[in-house]
Amino acid sequence: MKVVSFFAGAGGLDLGFSKAGFEVIWANEFDKEIWSTYRLNHPNTILDTRSITEIQADNVPDCDGIIGGPPCQSWSEAGALKGIDDKRGQLFFDFIRILAAKQPKFFVAENVSGMLFKRHDDALNNIKEMFKSAGIGYDLSFAMLNAVDFGVPQDRKRVFFVGIRRDLGITFTFPEPLAERYNLKDAIADLKDSAIPALELQNTNKQGCNIPNHEYMTGGFSSIYMSRNRVRSWDEPSFTIQASGRHAPLHPQAPKMVSVGVDKREFVQGQEHLYRRLSVRECARIQTFPDDFIFDYHKVNSGYKMIGNAVPVQLAYHLAKSIKQQIETN
């Protein structure tokens, strides 16, 4: 089955669907910092670099499915929580506009768990109704999934809208969590001693990397960062990988941070040298990108941003596999 991807980013969702047997024939991404990375790793997919607001339905190839994650900052618990009142939040409407015109067999839309905040209830219910009534209509399934339940060594909760076109008579059932769990040791233990710091001004040090993208952001830590423990142990899954190097979790080689007051933590004295941010490649591993997936950037924060904004590949794979099985079986 053929799919098209909106808000594709580096293509974590796309790669998961490809692994499940879908063909990603066309993708849309407006952020120019991402274009070279997407093209490098998805050479058989046509990349449209316009804003979705400029794209008409007849610009989009006919397909079996439309997938994507409309920008999440508007809904984020860490953001201003403006939701649909923010222009970025309103990009859901363009996604639905094209869905209604193309009428594929299914769609997938992903977003942050902050959408579930009570203040967004009216907007969320409106979006659900618009998905259900798009074109001839879709049977909608909605759930919050934690990536750690689907082969990803990371606690990462995200909401998913999955719709199957109503005439197909299928109501999608989300996959059950897997029995096996993965931790930081499984994901990044072999990378422990080979990471290198970024160059001055956080420029890439790729010439010095024996392993592609295995470099980490340097510099101090804000009071907000130091308000919580940022270290998970080797036998635990990672904290959520965020779209910022400044907020990257710390490497599990370090002991957990010590509470010294209300919302104030410190590094263990005498062990300060062990506290470094996870590298770009380590974050990619935790997001289950394969090592041959290369992130192209000049500033290391761009690498962290691409990875942190992505849907974990293995989560996307298990979701896509379930969609494929349910449509083909019925």
Query: Which is the catalytic residue, given 63, 72, 209, 283?
Result: 72
Return d(Cα 187, Cα 285) in angstroms, integer: 6
72 classed as catalytic: yes
The answer to whether 285 and 314 are in contact (CB under 8 A) is no
DSSP string of 36-73, one letter each residue:
HHHHHH-TTSEEE-S-GGG--GGGSPP-SEEEE----G
Return d(Cα 5, Cα 53) in angstroms, integer: 15
DSSP string of 208-260, one letter each residue:
G-SSTT-EE--S---TTGGGS--B--TTSPBPPPPS-GGGPPBPTTSPPPEEE
Of the candidates 78, 70, 80, 82, the residue with the CA atom closest to the CA atom of residue 30: 70
Q: Which residues are catalytic?
A: 72
